[in-house]
Structure 1
Amino acid sequence: MSFIPDLSVILTFAIAAFVLAITPGPDMALQLSRSINYGRTHGFATAAGAMVGIAVHTTLVALGISVLIVAAPTAFWVLKIAGALYLLWLAYQAIFHGGGLKISEKAQRIPTLKESFLTGVGINLLNPKVLLFFMTFLPQFVDRHDASAPGKLFFLGAEFILVSIPLAVAMVFAAERLTKVLTANKWVQRALNWTFASVFTAFAVTILFAEGRK
């Protein structure tokens, strides 16, 4: 079972995954929009599509990172530093550019469940910020000297999906109320943005100090 990370890593990543999963973005906006406009079934279909997209990102990143670990350890180190800087950029974005959601209006033609599912996949796969985040965030939880690093990356990707599923289900059920709170209450938005920024900054500082000691 060498592909299973230490318990401390699992718990730390679970907290990070939880915060990331509730951070407003295109995936959340789409799921809320489909749930409100076409019903919960479409919301669940869209959420399932997003999970498939995350699985694809995880696979691509795990395979790519495993190549770096073996062939280019220096590039892997640079990627970890880039991850810390990217987290700081996300913190800046959360504070100074906000995290409000844009919920699309109901279309004239009701989409099929397959269309909602594929739209969820597409929104996730075509969002460069998702790929960039997985590329720079997942490596922070593995050691380049660990031969089981690729397996641990897959494990963490699966953990991210497992953490995201109950949150997505709860979000679909509470879509209408959640949308009103996030779009109408500026104080709640501000509090969430500062919370997200604090978590991103904490992880970035931890990464930078860890790298500085090597």
Structure 2
Amino acid sequence: MDLASWLSLAVICVMGALSPGPSLAVILRISVSQSAWHGALAAIAHGLGIGFWAFLTLQGLAVLMQQYQDVFSVLTVLGGLYLAWLGIKAWRYAGMSSDDSIELVSSSYFEAARDGLLIALMNPKAALFFLALFSQVIPHEMTSMIKLQLWSTVVFIDSSWYVIVALLLAGGPVLAWLKRHIVWVDRGMGSLLILLGAKVVSGIF
């Protein structure tokens, strides 16, 4: 792949990662309610989840999804329900992950990684995004090395952005303010996730 095509791919991936959405809300909540390292691990897992869709797209699954809309619809509904479940959980345990009650609800690194991974896997629209993106930049003769280059670029950019979000949020006055208002932060994030989930599901029916 030539440098110009790769730069075009990288820029579009950066813009896609920067756009706010449910992934950002989940990574933010994990970082604020647990720790920067929980958030960073969730970010890396999220990048691998996005990489999963990029890999399947390169193998042609996105084309099949366009032909079999029922599969796409089922996956989209599951993704919306998962967002709503995360939102309900945020409301239910609002503030319980603060320092004075950390023993009551302690999120493990495994759970942080799981949530980061699932929020990416439950977003089948990523496959269509990569289908549109790759069709513009990939050459007609796509070797295994080019596939690896595309996949690693997607994973690196997505993971790096959310790791930066998690680590930058882990210190300073912003985090202090958020922790003082952790109950309302949790409820706000929970409400956002519930609304996003409802929007996703309602868009199918």
TM-score clears 0.5:
yes
TM range (shorter): 0.5 to 0.7
- CA offset at residue 118 of structure 1? 1.1
- CA separation of 1:153 and 1:141: change in aligned 2, threshold 3 A: farther
- Are 2:3 and 1:7 equivalent residues in the alignment? yes
Code of the aligned partner of 1:48: I
Gaps of 5+ in 1: 69-74, 80-101, 181-214
Comparing both chains, which one has the higher relative contact order based on Cα–Cα distances under 8 Å and sequence gaps of 6 or more? 2
Aligned residue for 1:157? 151
Aligned residue for 1:37? 33
Structure 1 CA distance for aligned equivalents of residues 152 and 7 of structure 2 = 14
Structure 1 CA distance for aligned equivalents of residues 105 and 135 of structure 2 = 43
- CA offset at residue 49 of structure 1? 1.3
Aligned residue for 2:43? 47
Code of the aligned partner of 1:55: G
Say whether the 8 Å CA contact 2:9–2:133 is kept in structure 1. Answer: no
Say whether the 8 Å CA contact 2:51–2:154 is kept in structure 1. Answer: no
Structure 2 CA distance for aligned equivalents of residues 167 and 126 of structure 1 = 19
Aligned residue for 2:125? 129
Q: TM-score, normalised by structure 1?
A: 0.57
* Cα deviation digits, residues 150-192 of structure 1 (max 9, x gap): 6534422211222233322221122374998xxxxxxxxxxxx
Q: CA RMSD in A?
A: 3.1
**Helix, strand or coil: the match of 2:60?**
helix
Aligned residue for 1:91? none
Code of the aligned partner of 2:122: L
- CA separation of 1:140 and 1:151: change in aligned 2, threshold 3 A: farther
Structure 2 CA distance for aligned equivalents of residues 157 and 106 of structure 1 = 38
Say whether the 8 Å CA contact 2:8–2:137 is kept in structure 1. Answer: no
Q: TM-score, normalised by structure 2?
A: 0.59
Code of the aligned partner of 1:117: A
Gaps of 5+ in 2: 68-86, 97-103, 179-205
- Are 2:108 and 1:112 equivalent residues in the alignment? yes
- CA separation of 1:148 and 1:128: change in aligned 2, threshold 3 A: closer
Aligned residue for 1:148? 142
- CA offset at residue 132 of structure 1? 2.6
How many residues are aligned here?
142
Code of the aligned partner of 1:24: P
- CA separation of 1:116 and 1:106: change in aligned 2, threshold 3 A: farther
* Cα deviation digits, residues 77-109 of structure 1 (max 9, x gap): x99xxxxxxxxxxxxxxxxxxxxxx8x444562
Say whether the 8 Å CA contact 2:27–2:43 is kept in structure 1. Answer: yes
Aligned residue for 2:18? 22
- CA separation of 1:165 and 1:49: change in aligned 2, threshold 3 A: closer
- Output aligned runs, 1:162-201, within 5 Å: 162-175=156-169, 177=174
Structure 2 CA distance for aligned equivalents of residues 57 and 150 of structure 1 = 17
